[in-house]
Amino acid sequence: MAQFVSSIIVVWTSLVLSVSAQYLQNEALLQAQATCVEYLGIPEARLAQYNISVYPPDRDTMCMIRCAGIILGFWEDEQGLLIDGAKQLFPDSCDVELVAQKVLHCAERKLLSCDPSDACARAYYSFRCAMRKFELSSSTSSSGQKLTAEKFLRAQYVCANTLRIPQDHLKLYNQGVYPDNTETRCLFRCIGIRLELYSDAMGPNLERLHSEFSVDQPLNEFKSRAGYCFEANRPLILDHCTAAYRNLYLCFREHFNAFTTQNRQTLLSHSPSPQTCLDLQSDLLLYGDDV
Ligand SMILES: *[C@@H]1O[C@H](CO)[C@@H](O)[C@H](O)[C@H]1NC(C)=O
């Protein structure tokens, strides 16, 4: 009888896993993070950062990653990064084996400069390698491109830090309000660039915007409507930030408004804690270095 019950559980579990693998994986990381924050006595506010995949290189975060790694099977103090465990976190990656090689190579290189007895730092830097490489590889596959509230929040968070925009201004932005002032214009430019929706040289990425926001409308129609808007903006463009604000935000405002309305719950539930300048610089350095 016990055997019968347990085989039912196995069948049921594998069904659930196969149906919603991607959801489960991300959910698993979220759960492990929440558990580790509690277990290690890390201030609860930090969890909001981790929930949007922001992992600054400080002690608490490093040990949280080690803890989550042990729970999820991507880290072991003796063996280091366990690639099979890491793969599961990024089900959308294109060529998993190739990326796995790169991840291991990156981790080996990173760990050369780590104190071998510092398991938290070793787990953390290995995870950073995995996150960067797998993320890059999934951002080239179409399913990984989909704009989500989490990606948007993360871009906004990093941009606000880079531009030193006070945290209380983010509350306004999270309600979908982007007033026409210098600070906000430059924030929107930064968000657009990070999300690959915009570049200074090419302007708004119309194919991306169409597939994100307006798939049901014929592409030609979408493009020509946008063209009229860019044309009207032309005499008003003073600098890169005005260009981005007008041609990306104002020209597609109805779509951005719909996006913030749809994701209201997620956007409003996040008020990330401020990051120090030192954290941020090393964060940016890390990003540069990992690529
Ligand atoms: C972070 O995510 C976990 C798991 O989904 C959730 O329980 C927790 O409330 C979230 N915390 C914050 C501060 O966003």
- Over residues 159-199, the pLDDT tens digits come to 888 888 887 888 888 888 999 999 999 999 999 998 999 99
Q: At how many degrees (to 10) do helices 277-290 and 119-139 cross?
A: 60
Indicate the pLDDT class of residue 86, thresholds 50, 70 and 90. Answer: confident
Given a cut of 90, is residue 111 above it in pLDDT? no
Are 238 and 165 in a shared domain?
yes
Given a cut of 50, is residue 287 above it in pLDDT? no
Residue 285 belongs to a domain: no
Are 84 and 164 in a shared domain?
no
Residue 78 belongs to a domain: yes
Residue 291 belongs to a domain: no
Are 154 and 230 in a shared domain?
yes
Q: Is residue 214 within 8 Å of 206, Cβ to Cβ? A: no
Given a cut of 90, is residue 138 above it in pLDDT? no
Distance 227 CA to ligand 1 centre (A): 41
Residue 76 belongs to a domain: yes
Residue 44 belongs to a domain: yes
What pairs with residue 199 in β-bridges?
203
Are 155 and 235 in a shared domain?
yes
Residue 176 belongs to a domain: yes
**For the residues 222-236, what does the mean pLDDT come to?**
95
Are 205 and 99 in a shared domain?
no
Number of domains in the chain: 2
The domain containing residue 239 runs over which residues?
149-269
Are 130 and 173 in a shared domain?
no
**For the residues 44-72, what does the mean pLDDT come to?**
91
CATH number for the domain including 165? 1.10.238.20
Q: Which of the two residues, 267 and 62, has the higher pLDDT score?
A: 62
Distance 51 CA to ligand 1 centre (A): 6
Indicate the pLDDT class of residue 67, thresholds 50, 70 and 90. Answer: very high
Are 125 and 167 in a shared domain?
no
pLDDT of residue 73: 92
Indicate the pLDDT class of residue 94, thresholds 50, 70 and 90. Answer: low
Count Cβ neighbours within 10 Å for each residue of 3-19 and write b for 16 or more, e otherwise.
eeeeeeeeeeeeeeeee
Indicate the pLDDT class of residue 91, thresholds 50, 70 and 90. Answer: low
Examine the fold and report which residue of 134, 168, 184 is the final residue of a domain before the chain moves on: 134
Examine the fold and report which residue of 87, 107, 134 is the final residue of a domain before the chain moves on: 134
Are 155 and 186 in a shared domain?
yes
Indicate the pLDDT class of residue 145, thresholds 50, 70 and 90. Answer: low
Provide the Cα torsion 101, 102, 108, 109; round to 10°. Answer: 150
Are 182 and 129 in a shared domain?
no
**For the residues 250-264, what does the mean pLDDT come to?**
92
Are 117 and 154 in a shared domain?
no
Distance 29 CA to ligand 1 centre (A): 11
Q: Please give the structure tokens belonging to residue 205.
A: 């990425």
The minimum-distance atom of ligand 1 relative to the CA of 31 is: 4
What residues flank ligand 1, with Cβ below 6 Å?
30-31, 34, 47-48, 51
